[in-house]
Homo-oligomer: A and B are copies of this chain.
Amino acid sequence: MKGIATCEATANIAVIKYWGKRDDELILPKNSSLSFTMDEQLKTRTTVMFLQDLKEDEFWLNGKKMDLKEKEIAERMKQLDIIRKRAEINEKALIVSINCFPTAAGFASSAAGLAALAIATLKAADLNLSGSETSIFARIGSGSASRSVLGGFVEWRKGEKDDGSDSIAVQIAPASHWPELRNVIGIVDAGKKKISSRAGMKQTIATSFLYPARMQYIEKVIEEMKKAVIAKDFQKFGEITMRESSDMHAVMLDTWPPIMYLNNISREIIYAVHELNSIEGKIIAAYTFDAGPNVHIYTTAENVARVQKMLQEYRKCCKVLKVFKR
């Protein structure tokens, strides 16, 4: 049926982080990033309908009508108007979005939501674009959403052009490439962030003494990471993943005033992962932290039980412990 589409997208976890924009309006990043799009446990399903009788756009999220005049929501929904303009559509849109997440809180992912919105809106507008082309629209809502339009191991290339046309997501390997890979998520704190990523990364670029140095080597780290994933070399992959996480949190700490997302539990889990790897004599678990204290521990299927056992000690502090593919 024309003018109506229902599409899905799942969350993604960056192993090379996106922290810093070269263009605030078009959401163009300072550096390329790499992520795994997760399995369907963290999925957003969105229906977009262009309706002639509708007087205003409506956006229903998890059964609740959202205020599209609210600045933060309006900014994230900008892609809707851009797509409408491109498709020469005049109808208003009714958007219904449901996060099919585990009931426990703390799994919110704007990436899945804004990727699903871009895919569904483009489809409802009858625009037939590739995944990489679709990523450009997802990016407008949330930078990391650009990676969620594709499955598996995805690179969001920073691009060079001012108009952002080459800042696209590209699949480096499909999900089937590394079927043994697992991601154990520990929700340490489901509370709201002290500072949003959007504001935080802006501050880092403006003030951190160390940030320019990070920009000098990160594209090289990306190439190393791609090689490690393609070779399914967990040693290399694990080391780069952990170092990259700390490197991002270091430039956050170096921001003025400092941005600190890791808490005591995060720190203890970091030490515990190093201890586990040290006992094993090799890397079997690798943590990564986004802009928050929640931990993602990458491991392989055979070692999931060991990672879970290690995290048992923090069970009281980790509200949720869940295992994902990728």
Q: List residues of A whose CB falls within 8 A of some B CB.
A: 194, 209-210, 212-214, 217, 239, 242-243, 246-247, 249-251, 253-258, 260, 262-264, 267, 270-271, 274
Contact = CB atoms under 8 A, between A and B. Distances in A.
Given A209-B243, A250-B254, 7 more contacts: A209-B217, A210-B210, A213-B213, A243-B254, A246-B254, A246-B258, A260-B267
Given A209-B214, A210-B214, A213-B213, A253 B246 contact: yes
Contacts of A267: 260, 263
A313 to B, nearest CB: 17
Nearest to A244: B209
Contacts of A251: 210, 250
29 contacts: A194-B271, A209-B213, A209-B243, A210-B210, A210-B213, A210-B214, A210-B247, A210-B250, A210-B251, A210-B254, A213-B213, A239-B256, A242-B256, A242-B257, A243-B254, A243-B256, A246-B254, A246-B255, A246-B258, A247-B254, A250-B250, A250-B253, A250-B254, A253-B253, A257-B270, A260-B270, A263-B264, A263-B267, A264-B264
A295 to B, nearest CB: 13
A263 B260 CA distance: 10
Q: Is the interface of A mostly helix, strand, loop or mixed?
A: helix
A324 B249 CA distance: 33
Contacts of A270: 257-258, 260
Task: State the 8 A-B residue pairs at the shortest beta-carbon distance, nearest first.
Answer: A213-B213, A250-B254, A250-B250, A250-B253, A246-B258, A210-B210, A264-B264, A257-B274
A58 to B, nearest CB: 39
